[in-house]
Amino acid sequence: MLRFTELDQSYPAKRPANERRGDFDEIYAPFNPKAGADQAARCSQCGVPFCQSGCPLHNDIPDWLMLAAEGRMREAWERSSATSTLPEICGRICPQDRLCEGACVIEQSGHGAVTIGAVETHITETAWKEGWIEPIHPKRETGFSVGVVGAGPAGLAAAERLREQGHAVTIYDRHDRAGGLLIYGIPNFKLDKSVVERRTQRLEASGVVFKLETELGRDISLDELRSRHDAVFLAIGTYKARALTCPGSGSEGLIPALDYLMASNRRGFGEEIEGEDRLQAKGRKVIVIGGGDTAMDCVRTAIRQGAASVTCLYRRDRENMPGSIREVSHAEEEGVIFEWLSAPLALKGDAARLTGVVAQRMGLGAPDADGRRQPVVLEGAEADLEGDLVIAALGYEAEDISTLGDISATPRGTIRVTQACRTSLPGVYAGGDIVRGASLVVWAIKDGQDAAATIHADLMARAAAGAARELEPAE
């Protein structure tokens, strides 16, 4: 360990931009065993590991780094999977620069963080390859049944932990495939679909039942679920796109980011797409409005579809973007043009199709509550941008949850919970984006795991109370 002074920071090999522009394959190759062990050995085994505080799951990072450095991969995987149900997914798509790696003391000392995410992926990929990840065989069946609504990371994480405890688990989802945004939002070049599918297949092999194309509020009510199951976990995500309000934004030609990404992901599964012409960037001048992860996924997808040009319009500058800087760098390498400090003033075109965007140039004012500098309008400074596919990627809010029944909501329209994921309805729990607002995969996993622990504790308490009642003498 402590080899950060002699070994440079290195990430797994990244495919050249020219090559990756032409396909949807993941852009990083996995570490080979030597590189994985070397990079793990750069860790200085801090007494107070800041990396762990930077990780929402409080993963035992120094422990599994040491085990990986010593080649004790099975122990490293056992340690890593004790706190995370989807470590190879977090290793690929967590914004590590803002989480564990951003907090690593070696980063602070100027040597470059330990490449924690890449080592985490390497450990779990080794476990898959070696066949250590098997279906779950609980020690006993509890006889309790839990319904999970939403097969995204929060729902999958909860299902895994609940099944381990011996509860029968049924997952309901309105889509035809499990995985939530891991399947229909995040593109393949960040997270290959097979990585998600082998996780859902393992849950199926563990006895978890998937009821797909079943929408809560349409095909089944919350009351029905509550009578069918001993507990219900709601992990339905946030899908209401934030609207653009400038003139022209009512045009049919303005494409919501998730419609565009879902179509691309479905195409990747070999499906035919309804409205293909609207949702395909090939040969077109694409303008994406927004600066978060979704916007980065749209611009990089458009590049791979063979767009004539791809421009990203964002109202702040590079340093003040909400998205991961690593993703911005990938996009720049792949040929995306960034129009920083530019906000849409009006969309050009008619009710059916768009021909471009009039951009308002912006300056930067004082930082806001998040520490990012506020954009301010530069009066009279405008630019005309040509584009025949305009995509809005302004973020997501909760859909109307009042349709689910009498469940308490926050002013933001998300489900209100206590810290232990309990909602206002007895036996109903919630977590992930539908509680936090649009967030990150790692936080959804944490909520799923936490909710499973609460549900298990509540069910065990119920079983103990029932057993105690049975022992009471009859009056």
Shortest distance (Å) from residue 433 CB to ligand FAD: 4
Distance CA 439, CA 412 (A): 14
Encoded tokens for 19: 């090559």
Are the beta carbons of 186 and 93 closer than 8 angstroms? yes
Closest C-alpha among 215, 212, 221 to residue 183: 212
Partner touching 215 among ligand SF4, ligand FAD, none, CB below 5 to 8 Å by kind: ligand FAD
When the beta carbons of 109 and 194 are compared against ligand SF4, the nearer one is: 109
Q: Which of 27, 37, 261, 343 binds ligand FAD (CB under 6 A)?
A: 261
CA distances from 77 to 85, 453, 459 (A): 11, 21, 29
Residues between 82 and 121 that touch ligand SF4 (CB under 6 A): 84, 90-91, 94, 96, 99-100, 104-106, 114, 116-117, 120
Q: Are 239 and 216 in contact (CB under 8 A)?
A: no
- Please work out the total of residues on this chain that contact ligand FAD, with binding judged by CB under 6 A: 35
Q: Which is nearer to ligand FAD, 149 or 313 (CB)?
A: 149
- Residue 281 touches ligand SF4, criterion: CB under 6 A: no
Q: State which H helix or E strand residue 231 sits in.
A: strand 231-234
* Cα gap 287→260, rounded to integer Å: 13
Contact 238, 197 (CB under 8 A): no
Structure tokens at 57: 């799951």
Sign of CA dihedral 100, 105, 110, 113: negative
Q: 58-77: which residues touch ligand SF4 (CB under 6 A)?
A: 59, 61-62
* 77 Cβ neighbours under 8 A, 6+ residues apart: 64, 123, 124, 126, 127, 132
- The binding track of 158-197 with respect to ligand FAD, each residue x by CB under 6 A or -, is --------------xxxx----xx---xx---x-------
The DSSP bridge pattern shows strands 309-313 and 285-289 to be parallel
Of the candidate spans 73-81, 210-218, 262-270, 306-314, the one that interacts with ligand FAD by CB under 6 A turns out to be 210-218
Q: Read off φ and ψ for residue 446, nearest 5 degrees.
A: -60, -45
Can you list the alpha helix ranges (DSSP code H) found in 314-371? Answer: 325-334
Which does residue 151 bind out of ligand SF4, ligand FAD, none, counting CB within 5 to 8 angstroms by kind? Answer: ligand FAD
Q: Which does 217 bind (CB under 5 to 8 A by kind): ligand FAD, ligand SF4, none?
A: ligand FAD
If the CB atoms of residues 5 and 32 are measured against ligand SF4, the closer one turns out to be 5
Contact track, ligand FAD, 445-474, x by CB under 6 A: ------------------------------
H or E, element range at 64: helix 61-69
Q: How many residues bind ligand SF4 (CB under 6 A)?
A: 27
Does 299 help bind ligand SF4 (rule: CB under 6 A)?
A: no
List Cβ<8 Å contacts ≥24 apart for 457-466.
458/231, 458/427, 459/142, 459/144, 459/146, 459/167, 459/230, 459/231, 462/230, 463/142, 463/144
Site string for ligand SF4, 424-453 (x = CB under 6 A): ------------------x-----------
Contact flag: residue 37 with ligand SF4 (CB under 6 A): no
236 touches ligand FAD (CB under 6 A):
yes
Task: Find the length of the chain.
Answer: 475
Report what 235 binds from ligand SF4, ligand FAD, none; CB cut-off 5-8 Å by kind.
ligand FAD
Q: In the complex with ligand FAD, which residue's Cβ is closer, 37 or 216?
A: 216
Say which DSSP state 369 is in. T
Residues engaged in binding ligand FAD (CB under 6 A):
93-94, 149-155, 172-175, 180-181, 185-186, 190, 215-217, 235-237, 261, 293-294, 297, 432-433, 439-442, 444
Which residues bind to ligand SF4, rule: CB under 6 A? 43-46, 49-51, 55, 57, 59, 61-62, 84, 90-91, 94, 96, 99-100, 104-106, 114, 116-117, 120, 442
